[in-house]
Every structure is written in structure tokens, then in C-alpha cells.
Amino acid sequence: MANQKVPLFSAQEERELRKQLSLLLCCSQASQSQDIINQLLHFYVPDKTKKEPSLTRFRYFSAALIEQLIILLQDEQFLKPSRWTDFFELLNYFPLSLENPIPHHLKETISSSANDNPFYQSDNFIPLQLSYLLAQLEDSDTAYSLLKQLKEDISITTSFFHLIYNLTLARLLILKNKRLDFTELWLKLIYKYYQEDGSETALHLILQWQKMIPWGKNASLKKKVLQTYSSDWKYNKTLLSAFILNELVTLENHLIKPEEKIRYVHILLSLPSSYMSFEQLQYLYFFAGNYYSGVEQNFPKSIRAYHHSTYYLHKSWLALQNLSQFLRENLSPEQMVQIMPYLEKKVISLANQINLQNSTYVDTLHKNYLLISDLYHQVEALSITDHLTGLKNRHYLHNNLYHTFQLAVRHKVPISFAILDIDHFKQVNDIYGHLAGDYVLQTLAELLLSFFRKSDVIIRYGGEEFLLVLFDIKKENMLKLMEEFRAKIENYEFIYQENKFHITISTGCVCNCFACLNDTALNSYIEKADKALYTAKEAGRNTVVCFTE
């Protein structure tokens, strides 16, 4: 029975829920509202024992209630303007004190709402903040003892005090697994603040409600609830839309695609930063840094996002220090001892985030370094490689061979040069077309690579000319080798688009070169090989000629 799947509410039950919730929102008398709330809770706990239901049923029932409320509150007939949603923004700045005063842009709103009697000067404000913050840290015992002392005073004070008190109480009820009382409290709050301040405030409270629910393995219900908000509320760039999108962004990765999440992140980062806490901003920039690096492979954008994330991580540390100081100043030594494990948990969480961020940042730098290094080698290879034949080009000859030449000179290894030229190459282009000419050059390059040693350097010198640099070969062997290759080409049948033809090559060589340590010496040897090539052309082509003084 324990593993039995709890069924979703039927369509009829959802209609009945919506009907009862509609009656609740329209109800003008508090006594009648309690009767409606009792009927709603009957869906939750059908029997009269009021035994706490299972956690799974609690999640499904909460999702059904919240979803139907959102639908109703977004309906035009219930739409009312809100007077003080800025109070929800103020919660991001707790604890407020002389060292951490109320932000300037919120002072006017808060003063006017408090009828020129600032609530933050009340004796109850410090213990109220303490209880709220301790509940956030999950120290339910200390928070509840402080809250209990405030119960009588809260009922006769400002609406904002009443709101903070009940947000704290709701948090404590869920920590103590009093799910029935938790649900009843939220229904009362939605009713009260909808009547006093309209639908937007009620929608804000619903977001606070769903944030406190431990969705666990039923996190898809949370996504379903958040998606109930219309585009008008999600994308109107208000405080409420910031809260909605933040909740969507923090959904588990399997529930929301990175492309969808980064879209929400872009919207959030275009909003005033005061709409979000430092930890929320740190997460947004951290996710953006990962996305830009891993998905877009945009190194500069990734680094900028990580820099922003580091800034807000630092601000989070300062906020934690401010919180710790506030607690030390306003709690007894015994209470401070009790709260220390919860503070340590917060410290560890931030420390882990720092380690994760540093590790991710270094990984990103390393990955992008490897990418840049790979691109550099590709560019370098392209700059020294002939794109048509794949052979080295003249840049390689002048920029990359000198260390090889120096090694050859040091060990007294002779160097030989040969320039090879295709005879009457223009006729190939004229008869068969330039693509046929490209085919001949590519095929000749392949034949050169397969015929000569891997230690020999073969360069496309220009047009139909190829330069060969051969190491440690005697003159007679050099001439014999070049003659064998000449004969091989003369007998090789080129086939291009069913056209069969032969070509011949002329070759000029210069052998036993030793002092090849600078451009002047190198150019002189190449000139000598070129002169020998000219002699071979003059002698009737299809021959090998060695340069002689």
C-alpha cells in the first residue's frame, strides 16, 4: 500500500475545487470564508479525524489548489490593482538594521503604506525579523519561541507585520510536517490579502506558498503550477514576473531544457537587480557562464558571466556576514549556540558554491585554451599548407625548415634540391579544362608523397612547379631517383571523366649542399635548381638535369 500511486484529482473534483475557491474569493464575511475553507480541506482530508495525509497527497492537493487559484486570479473579473507588492521585494534585504538600512527606492512606498509611522522603528520588528530569518535557516525551535511571544502584538499592528508573521508561521508549520494547518493558513492568507490588496498580491503569496512546499520527486507538479501563469504575468517585467521566472529557472535540468532556461535567464538579467537576491543573481550568471561555454562555445561571454557570478557570490558572503552579526547582536548566547549548526550549513553551502564555481571556471578556461590552441594549429597548418594538393607551401619552406637545415649542417648531412615542372601544362587546361588541371596537380602530389621518403620535404612551389628537399643522399643516387620518378610519370595514365592522357615532367637538381643556414644561401640553391630546370626545358623537356658551375 505504501508504494501505491496516488491518483490525480478528477476533472469533476477540479471543477468543484474551482467553484469553492471562487466562492472564497467572492466571500465578504470572514465567518463564511472559514466555512468554505473547511469544505476545501475536506477534499484534502475526507475523514473527520484530521489525520495528516501522506506527503504525496499533500503535493497533489497543493498543486490542484494553487493551479485553480492562479486561473481564477488571472481572470479579469477578479483583477484588482495592487498597492504594496514592493513589500515582497523588501524581504530580499532582511535583516534590516542601521548597518543595512531600507533601500532608498523602497522607503517612499513603505512610509506611505505605514501611514507615516515606520514599522521598522517598532520594538517588534527586530524579533519579527529574527523569527523570519531563523525559519529560513530551518531552526524551527528558536524561531517558534520568538514567534510565540509576538502573537498578541501582531494582531493589532501593520499589515506588513502580519504578513511577515504568517510567512514565518507557514515556514515553521511545513518544517514540523503540519501540512493540514499549513494549507489552511495559506487559504486564509490568500483570502485576507486578496480582499485587502487585490489579485497581484494574492499571486505573490501563491508563489511564496509553492516555494515552501517540498516537491521532491513530484517536482513536475511544481512546473505544471508555474506554467499556469499566463504570458502576461510571466513576461511583463514586474516583480511578480521576476519571481515566477526565477522559480522556473531553478527547476531540475530534466524538467526544463537549457535553451528554455537561458531564455528566462536573459529576461531576468534585463530586470532591475533589486528584484532578486544576491544568491539568485549569482546562480543566474553562473548558469549563463556554463551555457555560453558549453553550448554556444562563446568564450568572452562565458568569462563575463562568470565575473558577474563571482561578484554576486562575494555579495552573498557579505550578506551572510551581516546575517551572522545581526544574530549575534540580538540572540542570547544559548540561542546563538543553537543556531550555529544552521549557520555552518549555510557557510558550507556557499563554500561549496565557491569550489564549484572555481572548478567550472578553470575547466572553462582549460577547454577554451584547448579550443584556441587547436584553432591556432589549424590556422598555422592552413598558412603553411597548399589547399589544393595538401602539400606544404612556400611559407613552410622559409619559416619551418631552418631548424632542420641547422641539424643537417651540424651533422654534415648533405642536402639536395630539385624543382619539378609539368611539361606543357597549359595544354591540359585548354583541352580538358581547369578542373582536369587540378586533378593532375592533386594526383601528382599523391604520387610524389608515395614515391619519396617521409623524411623528404615536398612543397608546391607555385603553379605546376614542385620543390623537393632531400636529406642525406649522394649525387648519383639523387639523379637515379629523379630519373626513376620521371619515367614513372611518363608511363602513368591519367584518367579524368573518361579522358585518358599522359604528361611528362622536367626536373632541375642541385646536390651536396651544406651551408644552408639563411635565406641568402637557401635562395641561391633554389636558383641553381631553377637554372638546371631551365636547361632541361631547353633540352627538349621530359628530362633530369643537375646543376654544374
DSSP label at 386?
A: -
Best CA proximity match to 238, nearest among 262, 214, 210, 203: 203
Q: In the beta sheet, which residues pair with residue 422?
A: 505
Residue 390 sits at the vertex; the CA angle it makes with 388 and 396, to the nearest 5 degrees, is 110
In the numeric block, which cell numbers belong to residue 7? 491518483
Q: CA gyration radius for the chain?
A: 40
Give the 3-state secondary structure of residue 457: strand
Strands 505-513 and 499-501: what pairing?
unpaired
For 147-205, the DSSP string reads HHHHHHHHTTS-HHHHHHHHHHHHHHHHHTT-HHHHHHHHHHHHHHHHHHH-HHHHHHH
Long-range pairs for 101-109 at CB < 8 Å and ≥24 separation? 103/274, 105/274, 109/84
> Angle 179-197/159-175 helices, nearest 10 degrees?
160
DSSP label at 470?
A: E
Q: Which of 108, 464, 476, 483 is catalytic?
A: 464
User: Could you tell me the sign of the dihedral formed by the alpha carbons of 362, 289, 260, 70, in that order?
Assistant: positive
Q: Give dist(CA 139, CA 339) in Å, integer.
A: 7
Burial readout 350-367 (b: 16 or more C-beta within 10 A, e: otherwise) = beebeeebeebbeebeee
In the numeric block, which cell numbers belong to residue 422? 609539368
Give the 3-state secondary structure of residue 227: coil
Q: Which residues contact 139 (CB under 8 A, 6 or more apart)?
A: 338, 339, 342
Cis peptide before 101 (omega within 30 of 0): no
Q: Is 538 a catalytic residue?
A: no
The secondary element (H helix, E strand) that includes residue 170 is helix 159-175
Which amino acid is it at 482?
M
Strands 457-462 and 465-471: what pairing?
antiparallel
Best CA proximity match to 88, nearest among 235, 218, 244: 244
Judge whether 33 and 27 are in contact, CB under 8 Å.
Answer: yes
Which residue matches cell numbers 482530508? 45
Q: Which residues are catalytically annotated?
A: 464
